[in-house]
Amino acid sequence: MSNLSSIAVPKIDSLTLAVSEADGLVLTGTIASRDPNPTIGAYFKKVHEQLLATKPSKFTVDLTGLTFVNSSAVRLFIDWAMWIGQAGKTPPYKLHFRIARSITWQQTNFTALQSLAPNVIEIESK
């Protein structure tokens, strides 16, 4: 059993981050900070490290309520996929991104990302 809820969630005005064992991570709002890495990136890293310890087969990240991200934030998701890819020959878990068909940035960026890391990333369009 993981303990994701014990990881301190960064407080960001435009973004809500909610995590649960059942639902994974749910992001709602926008990411328009010029450098989201020290806050959101650091949080993703802690979640990833927790998942390495608990070894789930996959972890869901629900982005259907995330309406805008800047390019710095796109890199946060790429970094997460990289960490998994670098963790061993067999990915320790898969990142399951739940995305919205109606949100262009999600379709474009996650389709591209999955094509480059198909063994790490799953996409569910809603």
Q: Is the Cβ of residue 23 or residue 126 nearer to other proteins in the bound state?
A: 126
Kindly tell me which of 50 and 70 has the beta carbon lying closer to other proteins.
70
| CB closer to other proteins out of 7 and 103 | 103
- Minimum CB–partner distance for residue 15 and other proteins (Å): 10
Biggest CA pair distance of the chain: 38
CB of 116 to other proteins, least distance (A): 5
Which 3 state secondary structure label does DSSP give 35?
coil
Of all helices (H) and strands (E), which one includes residue 21?
A: none
- Name which of 3 and 14 has its Cβ closer to other proteins: 14
Burial 16-42 (b: 16+ CB within 10 A, else e): ebebeeeebbbbebbbebeebeebbbe
State the distance between the two ends of the chain, measured CA to CA, in whole angstroms: 28
Q: Which residues bind other proteins (CB under 8 A)?
A: 13-14, 30, 32-34, 67-68, 70-71, 74-75, 78-79, 81-82, 85, 104-105, 108-109, 112-113, 116-117
